[in-house]
Amino acid sequence: MAEFPTSKDIYFEVDGKKVAVVQNYSASFSKDDKEIDAFGEELPVGFAPGKKTYTIKITKAYIHDNALKDGIDFYNINNFNFVIVKPDRRVVYTGCSITGIDEDGSLNDTIAENINIRATVRREDKR
C-alpha cells in the first residue's frame, strides 16, 4: 500500500533564503472560465480559459531572527516564494503577496501570525 506524502518543511523564501517557517497551511485553486454561448443553443458550446487564482491560508508563521535583522517582516514582504517540501517533490508558489494578517498571542507565548497569501504561479519540482 502506498503512503501519502507528508510535508517535511514549509517556509517563506526571499532571494533563495528561508526567512520564515510555517506550522500549518491550506491551499486552494480557482479558475474563472467563461462560458461560450452560441445563438439558438440551450447549453454553452464550450469554455474560454479564465484567470487562475492560488490562495494560501497559513496558520502559525514565524519570521527567523536573521530575517528580522535584515529588515524583513510580514508587513513589508512582497514577491516572495512559498515552499512546501514533500518527500518526492517541492511545491513552489511564486510571485506571492500577503493579502491579510491576523496575530494571536497571550502572555509569555510566542506570537503567531495567521496569514493569507495570493500567488501568481504554482509549480512542482521533482526531488
Q: Which of 58, 44, 34, 40 is nearest to 119 (CA)?
A: 58
Q: Is residue 77 part of a domain?
A: yes
Q: Look at residue 3 in the predicted model and tell me its pLDDT.
A: 60
Q: Is residue 104 part of a domain?
A: yes
For the chain, how many structural domains are there in total?
A: 1
Q: Is residue 42 part of a domain?
A: no
Q: Is residue 40 part of a domain?
A: no
> pLDDT band at 4, cuts 50/70/90?
low
The Cα 14–Cα 79 span in angstroms is 8
Burial of 56 (C-beta count, 10 Å sphere; 0-12/13-18/19+): buried
Residues 47-103: pLDDT tens digits?
999 999 999 999 888 888 888 898 888 888 999 999 999 888 899 999 999 999 988
Task: Print the domain residue range for 58.
Answer: 12-33+49-126
Q: Is residue 5 part of a domain?
A: no
